[in-house]
Amino acid sequence: MTNPMEFLLWTKGPMFNWAIAIFALGMLARLVEIFWLGRKTNYAEARASEWGPGFRTMITRSFADAGTFKRSGFDVLVGWIWHLGFILVLFLFIPHIELIKSVFGVAWPGLPNPIIDAISAVTLVGLVAALVHRLMHPVKQHLSTFEDYLTWGVTFLVVITGYLAYHRLVNPYPIALGLHILSVEIFLIVLPFTKLTHMFTAFIARWYNGAIFGRKGVQS
């Protein structure tokens, strides 16, 4: 690669194909592990249905109860802010929608760019606040592992490079856009092998926990 355009074409071409392949194979392995290897046969007689309690827990565990919010209000609030911001920017930024349409053939209305820009800024602030809190909180600091910082880092890279590219704060522009695409590809490569997998498994795990308790006739 001898110029910015070649770098951009590399990120949109060979590197993109490698990232998608690693992501797909990694996620397939994780899902096979979860669905085929992770659950032992339960021979006990079921006392109640699994599906209703499973879906109820899937919903209730998605929102913090009053006790949790009182104990960990900062974590709940900041977590919601940057997670929601990340999702909104990912699915409602018009260029992202156009990319999804080119791959899957489906599209939906997006938000105006100034709103997406504001959401991106709030998301960045939320991510930084979450990192500072983790570094300053003695218990969190003790419990944090390399994986925690790795997942934070690749997530932050995706948002900050997108923000820099949108505002053209890195020149020339092909470099800025290429860096954003490369950061997304690193995110995809890391995702199946880290806690980022919860993007696809969080609701499954919540349903599973609720279903287990439901089968036992106990409310989760």
pLDDT higher at 40 or 122 = 122
**C-alpha torsion sign, points 47, 52, 58, 63:** negative
Average pLDDT over residues 13-26: 96
Please give the full DSSP string across 47-63, using - where no structure is assigned: SS-SHHHHHHHHHHTTS
Phi-psi region at 39: left, alpha or beta (left = phi > 0; alpha = psi -120 to 50)? beta
Query: What separation, in Å, do the N-terminal and C-terminal C-alpha atoms of the chain show?
Result: 56
Residue % of the chain over a pLDDT of 70: 93
Long-range contact list for 76-83, CB < 8 A, 24+ apart?
Answer: 78/126, 78/129, 78/130, 78/133, 79/130, 81/122, 81/123, 81/126, 82/122, 82/123, 82/126, 82/127, 82/130
**C-alpha torsion sign, points 26, 32, 34, 40:** negative
Q: Do residues 201 and 30 make contact, with C-beta atoms less than 8 angstroms apart?
A: yes
Report pLDDT for 60. 78
The model's confidence at residue 9, banded by pLDDT at 50, 70 and 90, is very high
Condensed to tens digits (0 to 9), the pLDDT of residues 58-111 reads 777 777 777 777 888 888 999 999 999 999 999 999 999 999 998 889 999 999
Report pLDDT for 69. 78
Q: Which residue has the tokens 């349903």?
A: 207
The model's confidence at residue 39, banded by pLDDT at 50, 70 and 90, is low
Which candidate, 30, 18, 54, 55, places its Cα nearest to that of 200?
30
Q: CA geometry: angle at 210 spanning 209 and 216, to 5°?
A: 95
Report pLDDT for 16. 94
Report pLDDT for 38. 62
Count the helix, strand and coil residues of the chain and give each as a percent rounded to the nearest 5: 80, 0, 20
What is the value of pTM for the model shown? 0.86
The model's confidence at residue 214, banded by pLDDT at 50, 70 and 90, is confident
Which two three-digit tokens encode residue 133?
């809190």
Peptide bond into 172 cis (omega under 30): yes
